[in-house]
C-alpha cells in the first residue's frame, strides 16, 4: 500500500525531539523552531554569524518556555508538508508577534507560510510546487531578481495578507508569493532557501539583515536605483558585423547578428548593418514577420573610417559592436577613443568601451580584479623584446606569449627559453603593439561561465562549460562539455560567485564569458580572461541551453531588464533564470590542417580549428560517439586503431603526450589496448572521469570485436545488450563493423532490422531550458536511447516511401535489405506534403569548402517552405548556424546527419520527402543511401546525383552529349595514368570523386609527383574512381549557377574568375556580372548547361564550372546541389535562387525571375578570406585544393573599385604613399604581364624592391628604378640587402610574389620564405598576377577612397 504524504504530519516526523544548543559562548541568542531544519542553517548562524542558536521542537510552547530559554530573536525553519498541520508552532509565533518591544523574527520556506498564518493570512497548495535551484525571485524593494533554490508545494496567498503586512519577494515566473514583511516591525520571511548548501547563495544577505536586527544594528535603507525610469529610446541603430569567416571568428557571429536584428526589429528600431560577408543570413534583405531583416545593408570593409562615413550618412543614435567579434570590437574601441562617436552623438549600446578596454588590456584587467580580491595568472605586458625577456625571466619558463587585442589567440605560443621567446615575440609584434607574457598553467582544468547582466544589476550565469583537454589547448581547439562534469558542487558555486562579482565590478551590460584555470589538486583558481562581447562560446551556450544569449543581450543593451524579457522557449517564464540541463552537450572542433603542407598539427594557445559540432545526449559516452561521427562522417564512432587516425610509426606514448588534432583517437587506442585510465591520465592530464567514460566505450567495443558475430553477441538478453550499446552511443554501422557484417551499408541495415525487432528505438526529447519544471511547447529536439517516452507526438504513422527512386549503384547490395517498410509509390497531394512536412538537411560542421554559405542556403529553403505552408523539419548539428535557431523551423533536430539518424527522424516525423541539395556535400552524399532505404528525395533523383558526382560517369555523359571537356582517363593502375599523362603532356590534374573543396586534388608536373598524388587520392576516395585530367595552363574559369525544373533551366548566373584556371573556385576572386566574356563564349556556356540540365533531369539548384580558352568552352565539373556562390549570385541579382529551387523541388508552380544583365549598372566582386596568419608554416599560395576559410563581397560602379573594396574587406593592408614594395615574379611571361602595373606603382612614388631576376628584368626591359635584394636561401638568410631583411626591418608594406607554378626546389624555398615572412609580419601579400595587376590599376585610380552606398542604393540603379 502507498502512503499518502498529504495526510501525514511530516513536520512532526522530522522535527527534533529535544532542545539543543549550538555556539554556547556566542551572542546574541536566537531560538530556532525545527520543522525539518537543514544543517547549513545551523552552520550559517553559528559559524558565519557567531550567534548562540537554541534549536527547539516544532511544538515547543514559547509562551510557557519550559526550558527557560533567554532569546533575542526567533527563527522559523524550513520543513515538509502542510503548514496548517502545525497549530502549536503558529500559536507560539502569534505570542512572539505580540511582544513589546518587538523581537526580530525570520522564517524560511515552511517558516514563511507559518509566519503568514500566524499573522492572519492564508496558504494554499500549488499545482506542481516550485522546486529546483534556479527559481527567479524579485525583491519588491529594489526590483532586483535573484536566483534561488526552492522545494515547496504550498504558498502564501498574498491577497489575504492583513494590514501592516506586505509582500517582500515574488516569483518572477508564476508570480506566486516568495516572502512577506511587516511594514514597521522587524518581522520578515522568505519562501526560498538563502543558505541552501547546494547553492546558489545569492540571497544569503538576508541572514545578515536578520542577525543585524537581533544585534540592534541600524539596517541600511534599500531602494530602487531608478534606472528603469531612465530608459532611452532609440530610433536607428548601426550594427557592426564581423566580416569574412576566419579561424577564430566564424559563423557564430552570423547567428548572434541575426538574433540581434530580430530583437531590434521587435522594438521598432531601424537597423543599419555593415558586413561585407555576402554568404551570411544577416545580410539577406528578404523580410517577413517571422524573419525580419536589416533595413539597410552595407557590403563594405569594416574599417573605422568606413563606419564613420556610414554614421555621417545614416545618422544612427546607437551602435552595437559586441555582435561582430574582435573585428567589430576593435573598430568600436578605436572610434570611441578618437572621440568620433561622441562627436556624432552616437551611443555605444550595451557594455561601455571603458569596460571593454578593461577586459582587453591585461594591466587594467589585473588591477580591476585586484580591487575585488581576485587575480589573473601571472602576466606582464611588453612593448618590445627586451621587456618581454625581463618579464619571462621574472615569471620563469615555460611561458605563454600572446598578442594583446588579438582574436582567438592570434600570434600566441609557448616558449621554453629566451631564443624561442624572441622568435615568437617578433611575430606577435607584427599583429599588435603590445604583447603579454603569461604564467604557464598547462595541466590545470579550463572552465567557462556565460554570464548575463542587465543595467539594474540582475546577474545570472546561463551555462557553465568544461574543457575536456587541460589548459594549454585553446578553448576553440578543445572538446568542451556542458554542463561541467568533474566539478564538485562547492567548486561550481565558488566559480559562479566569482563570475557574478567580476562581471558586476567591470560594469558589463549584456552578455560576456569568463574563463578560469582551476588547479585539479586544490580549489586554487585564477581568471584567464573575460570576453565582454558575444563569442564562439556564447553561440555554443545558446544552443546547449536553448537560452538565446544574443537576443537577450540586445534587449538589455536597449535598457530593458532581465525580469521583463520573456523566456523565448517557454514564452511564459522570465529570461531571468539559469537553465536546467537534463542532458549533456559536447562540442568537438573540426580541423582542416591536412590541406596545408608544412603545418604542424600540434594544438596550443593559438586556435587552428575551422568549425565545430555539438552533440546532445543523456550520457557522456553517447555525446562523444555522436560528435566523432558529426566531425568526420567517415567515422562510425570513437575508435582507436580502427579510426585510421593514429600512427604506427610514432610511439603511442608520444601521441598521447602532445596535444594534436588526432590525440583523442590515440587516447582511445591506448584504452583499447589495455593501458588503463591512470597511465593515460599521467601522460595527457585529461581528467580521469572523462577517461573512465572512454574506457567504458573501449570495453564494449572489445567485447563486440571478441565475439565477432551478431548472433553470438546478442544470443542472451538481446534487447538489454542492444539498448546498453545504443545508450553508449554505438551506431548500427559500428556494431555491424565489429560483427564483421560486410559490406557495411548492408550490415548496418541488418543491425537496424534486428534492433527494431527488439523494440530498441530512440526517443525524441526536448530542450526546454527548465528540465521539464515548466510546461514548454518547444520544437528544439534531439534523439537518445536514454529514455522510454517521446516528449513530442508524431502526426503520421509512416513517412512517404518511394520505390521509384530506389536504384542499384555500382556497389550494390547483393540482397536488398530494407530498413523501412516500402509503401507503394504514391503521388501525395501537395496539401498532404505540407502537413507531413519536408526534412531539410543542413550543412554540418564548417570546414574549408563548406561554410556559412550553405547555412544561408538551408535557411532560405526552410523560410520558403514555411512561406508556402509546408511544415519544415531541419536536421543540423552545427551550433554556429542560424538554421539551428529554434524559431527558424517547425521542428529542429539537433542531430547527426548519418543515414541511421536521418532515417530515424524521417520515419518518426512521417515526412513527405528530404531536401539534400542545400547543405553542401555531406547531405548530397546521403542521397544514394537514403533513396536505397526508400526515402523520397525531393528534387534531382539520387541516380542522377551519382551520375554527376562520379567523375567517370559524368565524363562519359559529356562525351555522349558532345559537350567538350579536358582530356581525361580513369585510373586503374599507376602505370596507365603515367602513360596517359605522357601522351597528353604534363601538367595533369588528379581528381577524386564525391569530395568537397578539392580534397586530395593535385596538379602533377612530372611522373614522380603524379605517383605520389595518386597514393593520396586513392586514400580519400575509398572505392570511388579517380580521374586524371589534362591540366590546361592560362585558361579562364567561369562559374555557372542555375536552378532547373524537370531538366529545364529557370534562372542562371554566369560569374567569371579573375585568376586563371588552376586556382580552386572557392579561392578565386569572382566577378558578377561577368565583365570580359565574349558573347560567343556565353552562348556556348548556356548551350552546354542546358544540355547537362536536360540529360541529368535536374530539379533544384546546380552549379557547373567551365574553362574558357580563347573562344572554346570546356566543362570542369557539375554539382547537383547549391554551391558556395548561391548567396553571392542571389544577393547580387536580387533574386533568391534557393527560394526558387525549393518551390521547384516541392512540385509547386514556379515562375522564373526576370533578370536582365544588361540593366545591371553595378558590379559585385567576391574575394576569398584566408587564415594563413594562424596556420604556422603553411605556404600562403593558391592551388587546386581550397585554402580559404571565408569570403567577402563588395559592390561598385566599376569592377576595379569593387575588387579593391573586397580586398580591403578581407583585412588586406594597402601600402602607405612612398612605402617600399617588394616584387618577386618567377617567369618572364608573368613579369611582362605585370610590367604596366609595375610602372603604375613606380609613378605613384612607391619604392620598388625586387629579387635578382625580377629587378634585372624590369631595369633592362623597362628602365624602372628598382633596388635589388637577395633571395633567401634559408630561414636565417635575413642579413642587410636580403628580401627577408627588407620585410622584417626595411618597412616593406606590400609583397607581390608570383611563383611559376612548377615545383623547382630553389623557387619554392625562396618564394615560400618570402611569402611566409610577409604573412608572419602582417604585410599585404599578393600571389596571383591577375590580382596584382588589378590592385595596381585600382590604386592608380585612387579607388581606395569611395562613397559608402548600401545594397538598396545599387538595386535602385538596376530598377531605374
- Say which residues have a Cβ less than 8 Å from residue 1060's Cβ, sequence separation at least 6: 1033, 1034, 1035, 1036, 1037, 1330
Residue 976's nearest CA partner among 1005, 1003, 1007, 934 is 1007
**Count of alpha carbons within 13 Å of 127, Cβ hemisphere only?**
5
| Residues forming a β-bridge with 1324 | 1294
Alpha helix ranges (H) inside 708-822: 710-713, 718-727, 732-738, 744-757
d(CA 1202, CA 1196): 5
Residue bearing cell 541511421 = 900
Sheet with 413-415: strands ordered across: 379-382, 435-439, 399-403, 413-415
Q: Say how many CA atoms lie within 13 Å of 1318 toward its Cβ.
A: 28
Count of CA atoms in the C-beta half-sphere (13 A) of 1171: 33
Angle (deg, nearest 10), helices 677-684 and 663-672: 160
Q: How far is CA 1280 from CA 125, 286, 655, 1224, 1308, in A?
A: 86, 57, 42, 17, 22
Burial state string for 454-476 with b = 16 or more CB within 10 A and e = fewer than 16: bbbbbbbbbbbbbbbbbbbbbbb
As separate numbers, helices (DSSP H) first and strands (DSSP E) second, the chain gives 44, 48
Residue 437, all three cell numbers: 607574457
Question: H-helix or E-strand containing 438?
Answer: strand 435-439
Element (H, E) at 402: strand 399-403
The candidate with the shortest Cα–Cα distance to 1028, out of 957, 1089, 1125, 951, is 951
- Angstrom CA distances, 1128 to 1069, 1124, 1355, stand at 12, 8, 14
What residues are labeled active site?
109, 193, 195
Q: Phi first, then psi: what are they for 113, rounded to 5°? A: -70, -40
Q: Output the 3-class SS for 245-265.
A: CECCECCHHHHHHHHHHHHHH
Give the span between the Cα atoms of 380 and 392, in whole angstroms. 8
In 3D, which of 749, 710, 473, 702 has the Cα closest to residue 601?
A: 473
Angstrom distance (rounded) from CA 179 to CA 191: 5
Cβ atoms 110, 35 nearer than 8 A? yes
d(CA 296, CA 1073): 22
Contact 721, 714 (CB under 8 A): yes
Angle between helices 489-506 and 362-371 (to 10 degrees): 110
Q: How far is CA 930 from CA 900, 905, 906, in A?
A: 9, 12, 10
Residue 947 near residue 1096, CB atoms below 8 Å: yes
Q: Is 18 exposed, middle or buried (0-12, 13-18, 19+ CB in 10 A)?
A: exposed
Quote the CA–CA distance of 1103 and 1137 in Å, as a whole number.
12
Q: Are 1186 and 1215 in contact (CB under 8 A)?
A: no
- Residue 584: φ, ψ to 5°: -125, 140
The total number of residues shown for the chain amounts to 1360
Q: Cα separation of 535 and 978, whole Å?
A: 50
Amino acid at each position: 500500500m502507498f502512503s499518502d504524504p498529504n495526510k501525514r504530519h511530516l513536520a512532526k516526523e522530522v522535527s527534533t525531539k529535544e532542545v539543543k544548543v549550538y555556539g554556547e559562548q556566542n551572542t546574541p541568542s536566537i531560538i530556532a523552531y525545527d520543522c525539518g531544519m537543514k544543517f547549513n542553517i545551523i552552520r550559517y548562524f553559528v559559524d558565519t554569524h557567531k550567534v548562540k542558536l537554541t534549536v527547539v521542537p516544532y511544538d515547543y510552547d514559547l509562551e510557557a518556555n519550559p526550558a527557560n530559554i533567554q532569546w533575542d530573536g526567533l527563527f522559523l525553519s524550513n520543513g515538509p508538508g502542510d503548514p496548517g498541520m502545525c497549530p502549536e508552532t503558529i500559536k507560539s509565533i502569534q505570542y512572539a508577534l505580540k511582544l513589546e518591544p518587538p523581537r526580530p523574527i525570520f522564517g524560511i520556506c515552511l517558516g514563511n507560510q507559518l509566519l503568514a498564518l500566524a499573522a492572519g493570512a492564508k496558504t494554499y497548495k500549488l499545482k506542481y510546487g516550485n522546486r529546483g535551484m534556479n527559481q527567479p525571485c524579485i525583491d519588491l524593494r529594489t526590483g532586483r531578481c535573484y536566483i534561488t533554490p526552492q522545494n515547496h508545494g504550498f504558498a502564501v496567498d498574498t491577497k489575504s495578507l492583513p494590514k501592516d503586512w506586505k509582500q517582500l519577494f515574488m516569483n518572477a515566473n508564476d508570480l506566486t508569493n516568495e516572502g512577506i514583511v511587516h511594514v514597521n516591525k522587524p518581522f520578515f520571511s522568505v519562501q526560498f532557501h538563502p543558505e541552501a548548501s547546494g547553492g546558489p547563495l545569492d540571497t544569503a544577505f538576508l541572514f545578515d539583515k536578520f542577525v543585524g536586527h537581533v544585534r540592534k544594528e541600524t539596517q541600511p535603507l534599500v531602494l530602487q536605483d531608478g534606472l528603469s525610469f531612465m530608459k532611452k529610446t532609440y530610433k536607428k541603430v548601426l550594427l557592426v558585423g564581423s566580416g569574412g569567416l576566419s579561424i577564430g571568428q566564424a559563423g557564430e557571429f552570423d547567428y548572434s547578428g541575426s538574433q540581434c536584428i530580430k530583437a531590434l526589429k521587435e522594438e521598432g528600431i531601424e537597423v543599419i548593418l555593415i558586413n561585407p560577408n555576402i554568404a551570411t543570413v544577416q545580410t539577406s534583405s528578404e523580410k517577413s514577420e517571422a524573419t525580419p531583416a536589416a533595413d539597410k545593408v552595407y557590403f563594405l570593409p569594416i574599417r573605422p573610417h568606413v563606419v564613420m562615413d556610414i554614421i555621417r550618412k545614416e545618422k544612427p543614435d546607437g551602435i552595437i559592436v559586441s555582435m561582430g567579434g574582435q573585428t567589430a570590437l576593435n573598430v568600436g574601441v578605436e572610434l570611441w577613443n578618437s572621440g568620433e562617436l561622441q562627436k556624432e552623438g552616437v551611443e555605444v549600446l550595451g557594455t561601455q568601451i571603458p569596460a571593454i578596454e578593461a577586459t582587453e588590456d591585461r594591466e587594467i584587467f589585473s588591477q580591476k580584479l585586484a580591487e575585488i580580491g581576485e587575480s589573473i595568472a601571472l602576466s606582464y605586458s611588453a612593448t618590445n623584446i627586451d621587456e618581454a625577456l625581463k618579464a619571462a625571466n621574472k615569471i620563469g619558463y615555460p611561458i605563454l606569449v600572446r598578442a594583446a587585442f588579438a582574436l582567438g589567440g592570434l600570434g600566441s605560443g609557448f616558449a621554453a627559453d629566451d631564443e624561442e621567446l624572441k622568435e615568437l615575440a617578433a611575430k606577435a609584434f607584427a599583429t599588435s603593439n603590445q604583447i603579454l607574457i603569461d604564467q604557464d598553467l598547462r595541466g590545470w582544468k579550463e572552465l567557462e561561465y556565460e554570464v548575463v547582466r542587465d543595467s539594474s544589476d540582475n546577474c545570472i550565469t546561463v551555462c557553465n562549460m568544461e574543457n575536456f583537454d587541460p589548459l594549454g589547448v585553446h578553448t576553440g581547439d578543445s572538446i568542451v562539455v556542458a554542463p561541467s562534469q568533474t566539478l564538485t558542487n562547492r567548486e561550481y558555486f565558488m566559480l559562479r560567485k566569482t563570475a557574478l562579482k567580476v562581471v558586476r565590478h567591470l560594469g558589463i551590460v549584456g552578455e560576456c564569458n569568463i574563463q578560469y584555470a582551476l588547479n585539479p589538486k586544490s580549489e586554487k583558481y585564477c581568471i584567464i580572461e573575460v570576453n565582454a562581447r558575444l563569442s564562439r562560446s556564447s553561440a555554443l551556450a545558446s544552443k546547449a541551453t536553448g537560452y538565446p544569449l544574443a537576443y537577450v543581450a540586445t534587449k538589455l543593451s536597449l535598457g530593458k531588464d532581465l525580469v521583463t524579457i520573456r523566456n523565448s522557449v517557454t514564452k511564459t517564464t522570465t529570461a531571468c533564470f539559469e537553465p536546467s540541463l537534463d542532458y549533456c552537450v559536447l562540442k568537438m572542433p573540426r580541423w582542416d590542417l591536412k590541406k596545408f603542407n608544412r603545418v604542424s598539427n600540434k594544438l596550443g594557445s593559438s586556435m587552428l580549428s575551422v568549425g565545430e559540432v555539438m552533440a546532445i545526449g543523456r550520457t557522456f559516452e553517447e555525446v562523444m560517439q555522436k560528435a566523432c561521427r558529426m566531425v568526420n562522417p567517415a567515422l562510425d564512432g570513437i575508435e582507436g586503431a580502427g579510426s585510421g587516425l593514429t600512427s604506427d610509426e610514432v610511439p603511442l606514448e608520444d601521441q598521447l603526450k602532445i596535444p594534436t588534432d588526432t590525440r583523442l583517437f590515440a587516447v582511445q587506442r591506448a584504452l583499447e589496448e589495455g593501458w588503463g585510465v591512470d597511465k593515460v591520465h599521467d601522460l595527457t592530464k585529461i581528467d580521469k572521469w572523462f577517461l573512465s567514460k572512454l574506457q567504458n566505450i573501449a570495453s564494449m567495443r572489445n567485447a563486440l570485436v571478441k565475439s565477432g558475430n551478431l548472433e553470438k553477441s546478442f544470443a542472451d538478453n538481446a534487447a538489454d545488450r542492444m539498448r546498453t550499446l545504443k545508450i553508449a552511443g554505438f551506431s548500427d554501422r559500428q556494431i555491424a563493423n565489429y560483427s564483421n557484417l560486410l559490406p557495411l551499408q548492408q550490415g548496418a541495415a541488418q543491425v537496424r532490422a534486428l534492433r527494431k525487432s527488439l523494440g530498441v528505438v530512440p526517443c525524441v526529447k526536448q530542450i526546454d531550458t527548465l528540465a521539464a519544471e515548466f510546461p514548454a511547447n518547444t520544437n528544439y529536439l534531439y534523439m537518445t536511447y536514454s529514455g522510454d517516452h517521446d516528449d513530442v507526438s508524431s502526426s503520421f504513422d509512416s513517412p512517404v516511401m518511394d520505390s521509384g527512386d530506389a536504384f542499384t549503384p555500382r556497389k550494390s547490395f547483393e540482397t536488398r535489405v530494407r530498413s523501412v517498410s516500402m509503401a507503394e509509390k504514391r503521388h501525395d497531394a501537395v496539401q498532404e506534403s505540407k502537413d507531413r512536412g519536408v526534412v531539410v538537411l543542413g550543412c554540418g560542421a564548417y570546414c574549408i569548402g563548406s561554410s556559412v554559405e550553405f547555412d544561408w542556403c538551408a535557411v532560405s529553403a526552410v523560410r520558403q517552405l514555411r512561406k508556402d505552408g509546408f511544415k519544415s523539419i531541419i536536421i543540423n548539428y552545427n551550433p554556429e548556424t542560424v538554421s539551428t535557431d529554434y524559431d527558424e523551423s517547425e521542428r529542429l533536430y539537433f542531430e547527426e546527419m548519418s543515414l541511421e539518424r536521418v532515417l530515424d527522424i524521417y520515419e518518426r516525423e512521417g515526412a513527405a520527402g528530404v531536401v539534400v541539395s542545400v547543405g553542401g556535400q555531406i547531405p548530397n552524399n546521403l542521397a544514394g543511401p537514403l533513396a536505397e532505404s526508400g526515402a523520397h528525395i525531393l528534387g534531382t533523383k539520387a541516380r542522377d546525383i551519382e551520375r554527376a558526382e562520379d567523375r567517370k560517369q559524368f565524363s562519359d555523359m559529356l562525351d555522349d552529349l558532345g559537350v567538350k571537356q579536358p582530356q581525361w582517363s580513369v585510373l586503374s593502375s599507376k602505370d596507365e595514368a603515367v602513360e596517359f599523362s605522357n601522351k597528353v603532356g604534363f601538367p595533369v590534374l588528379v581528381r577524386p570523386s564525391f569530395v568537397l573543396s578539392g580534397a586530395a586534388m593535385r596538379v602533377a608536373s612530372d611522373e614522380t609527383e603524379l605517383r605520389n598524388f595518386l597514393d593520396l587520392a586513392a586514400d580519400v576516395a575509398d572505392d570511388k574512381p579517380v580521374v586524371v585530367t589534362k591540366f590546361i595552363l592560362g585558361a579562364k574559369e567561369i562559374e555557372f549557377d542555375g536552378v532547373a525544373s524537370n531538366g529545364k533551366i529557370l534562372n542562371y548566373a554566369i560569374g567569371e574568375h579573375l585568376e586563371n584556371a588552376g586556382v580552386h573556385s572557392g579561392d578565386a576572386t569572382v566577378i558578377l556580372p561577368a565583365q570580359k566574356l565574349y558573347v560567343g563564349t556565353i552562348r556556348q556556356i548556356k548551350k552546354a548547361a542546358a544540355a547537362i540540365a536536360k540529360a541529368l533531369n535536374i530539379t533544384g539548384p546546380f552549379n557547373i564550372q567551365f574553362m574558357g580558352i580563347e573562344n572554346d568552352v570546356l566543362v570542369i565539373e557539375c554539382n547537383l546541389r547549391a554551391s558556395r556562390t548561391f548567396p553571392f549570385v542571389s544577393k547580387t541579382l536580387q533574386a533568391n535562387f534557393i527560394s526558387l529551387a525549393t518551390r521547384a523541388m516541392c512540385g509547386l508552380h514556379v515562375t522564373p525571375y526576370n533578370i536582365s544583365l544588361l540593366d545591371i549598372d553595378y558590379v559585385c566582386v567576391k574575394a576569398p578570406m584566408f587564415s594563413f596568419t594562424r596556420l604556422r608554416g603553411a605556404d600562403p599560395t593558391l592551388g587546386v585544393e581550397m585554402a580559404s576559410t571565408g569570403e567577402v563581397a563588395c559592390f561598385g560602379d566599376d569592377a576595379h573599385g569593387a575588387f579593391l573594396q573586397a580586398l580591403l574587406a578581407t583585412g588586406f593592408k594597402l601600402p602607405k604613399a612612398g612605402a617600399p614594395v617588394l616584387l618577386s615574379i618567377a617567369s618572364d611571361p608573368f613579369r611582362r604581364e605585370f610590367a604596366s602595373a609595375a610602372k603604375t606603382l613606380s609613378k605613384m612614388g612607391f619604392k620598388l624592391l625586387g629579387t635578382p631576376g625580377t629587378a634585372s628584368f624590369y631595369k633592362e626591359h623597362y628602365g624602372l628604378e628598382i633596388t635589388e635584394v637577395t633571395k633567401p636561401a634559408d630561414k636565417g638568410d635575413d642579413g642587410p640587402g636580403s628580401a627577408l631583411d627588407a620585410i622584417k626591418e626595411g618597412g616593406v608594406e606590400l609583397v607581390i610574389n608570383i611563383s611559376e607554378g612548377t615545383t623547382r626546389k630553389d623557387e619554392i624555398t625562396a618564394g615560400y620564405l618570402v611569402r611566409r615572412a610577409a604573412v608572419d609580419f602582417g604585410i599585404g601579400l599578393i600571389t596571383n598576377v591577375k590580382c596584382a595587376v588589378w590592385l595596381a590599376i585600382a590604386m592608380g585610380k585612387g579607388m581606395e577612397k569611395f562613397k559608402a552606398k548600401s545594397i538598396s542604393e545599387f538595386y535602385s540603379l538596376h530598377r531605374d
